[in-house]
Amino acid sequence: MTMRTIKYFFDFIDGQEQWLNKMSQNGYRLVKCGKLIYEFEKCTPNEYEYAVELVGQMSERKRKEYQDLFEELEYKVFTKNLNINFSFGKIKFRPWGNGWGKITTSPGSYNKELLIIETLMSESKFEIHTDIEDKLIAYQNVINSLLYAVIMMIVLIAVSFVSNEQVFEEVLWGIRAILILFTVMWAVPLVKLISKKLSLKEESKISER
Amino acid sequence: MKDNVQGGALTETTLLILLALFKPNHGYGIMQFIEERTDKRVSLGPGTLYGAINTLSKKNWIVPCGEDDSRKKQFIITELGKKQVIKEKKRLEDLSMLVELALGGEYDHENY
């Protein structure tokens, strides 16, 4: 028996990870994920553990190589989209990417910005990065993409004030309200992550793990 | 993964991966080796393993070995890599001696 849920995460790493682990606690294992739909099947509670990793900054070749390693290590890997807009046969630009990771194509790396990794639960928490230096880099990548989202929202809000399109005031304020809501939804995980990064950075001065 | 170039100090992760590769080993084997030999004190995440293998290959401290067609890529330490391990051994011994000097007679296995 499968269960389907529709969900979108603004807090796409920590929020999504916590939710998937909560589902596992309640005895649901992820079997499939689409743009907004997650499909679960029943399993023993706490049998599986999940971690989510942003790979949108990587080039297509690198992401493939990275995903292969996870599969070689016998983890189950799902690819997940970061955005919800539909796209096919397009080229997009990601200012927060590294090198060729700045360009994304569909079909290709577009809509595969996240990896969801599933593993059997063990005594210690499953972590993709176990080195402070590595964790800092991973945090920074997520910070960059969240920062980009927040800046884009602020730009759109600003545009809504300067544009002299003939739109009803009410409609315009409605759009602004949505934009402001999105800004906040992305700003919250951004602030959390920045503070997490700063405290880890402090620790890295005296310890390496 | 970062190595302190001036001091030549390797990170613990780097050293353990190099030790795991004195025999041809693949990713899973490296993770197992580290967990077993450190009594689970150190666990190596797959992301950190990936970064470390790439960096160590680039530095030519390790090289791929075994059949190319197998899905599990194997690696082995090079002479250059072994040199780093020996350098690190010396550094750790020197450090250990400094610790013992500082502790003098105070050090007592029973109490710590």
pLDDT, tens digit only, all 112 positions of chain B: 455 445 578 999 999 999 999 999 999 999 999 999 999 899 899 999 999 999 999 999 999 997 765 677 899 999 999 999 999 999 999 999 999 999 986 656 555 5
Q: What is the CA radius of gyration of chain B?
A: 16
Mutate to test the interface with A, among B32, B50, B71 (most CBs of A within 10 A): B50
Q: For residue B70, tell me if it sits in a domain.
A: yes
CB B7 within 8 A of CB B88: no
CA distance B88 to B69: 34
- Using alpha carbons, list the distances in angstroms from residue B102 to B88, B93, B95, B97, B109: 21, 14, 11, 9, 15
Q: Which of A70, A124, A208 sits opposite B46 (nearest CB)?
A: A70
- What's the pLDDT at A7? 93
Residue-by-residue DSSP string for A71-108: HHTT-EEEEE-S-----SSEEEE-TTS-GGGGEEEETT
Q: For residue B3, tell me if it sits in a domain.
A: no
Mutate to test the interface with B, among A67, A68, A71, A73 (most CBs of B within 10 A): A73
- The shortest C-alpha distance from B60 to chain A (Å) reads 19
Contact A73 B50 (CB under 8 A): no
Q: Which long-range contacts (CB under 8 A, 24 or more apart) does A181-184 make?
A: A182/A10, A182/A149, A182/A153, A183/A150, A183/A153, A183/A154, A183/A157
Q: For residue B30, tell me if it sits in a domain.
A: yes
Q: In the structure encoding, which two tokens stand for residue B85, read together?
A: 């391990």
Q: For residue B88, tell me if it sits in a domain.
A: yes
For the entire predicted model, the pTM comes to 0.85
Q: Which of B1, B12, B72 sits opposite A72 (nearest CB)?
A: B72
Residues composing chain B:
112
CA distance B15 to B17: 5
Contact A69 B46 (CB under 8 A): yes
Contact B11 A208 (CB under 8 A): yes
CB B35 within 8 A of CB B43: yes
Q: For residue B96, tell me if it sits in a domain.
A: yes
Domain boundaries, chain A: 2-120, 132-204
- What's the pLDDT at A122? 87
Please tell me which residue of chain A has the smallest CA distance to B32: A73
A88 contacts: CB under 8 Å, gap ≥ 6: A106, A107
Q: In the structure encoding, which two tokens stand for residue A52, read together?
A: 């989510």
Question: Domain span at residue B89?
Answer: 12-111
CB B25 within 8 A of CB B31: no
Element spanning B21, H or E = none
Under-70 pLDDT residues of chain A? 84-93, 100, 105-110, 164-165
Chain A residues with CB-CB distance to B46 below 8 A: 69-70, 73, 75, 117, 128
Element spanning A201, H or E = helix A169-204
Contact A129 B71 (CB under 8 A): no
**A→B interface, C-beta within 8 Å:** 53, 66, 69-70, 72-75, 117, 124, 126-131, 133-134, 138, 208-209
Q: Which tens digits make up the pLDDT trace of A140-183?
A: 999 999 999 999 999 989 988 887 667 778 888 888 999 999 99
Number of domains in chain B: 1
- What's the pLDDT at B8? 74
- Using alpha carbons, list the distances in angstroms from residue A153 to A36, A150, A173, A186, B55: 21, 5, 14, 9, 37
Q: For residue B4, tell me if it sits in a domain.
A: no
B41 touches chain A (CB under 8 A): no
Q: For residue B5, tell me if it sits in a domain.
A: no
- What's the pLDDT at A161? 84
- What's the pLDDT at A164? 67
B43 contacts: CB under 8 Å, gap ≥ 6: A124, A127, A130, B31, B34, B35
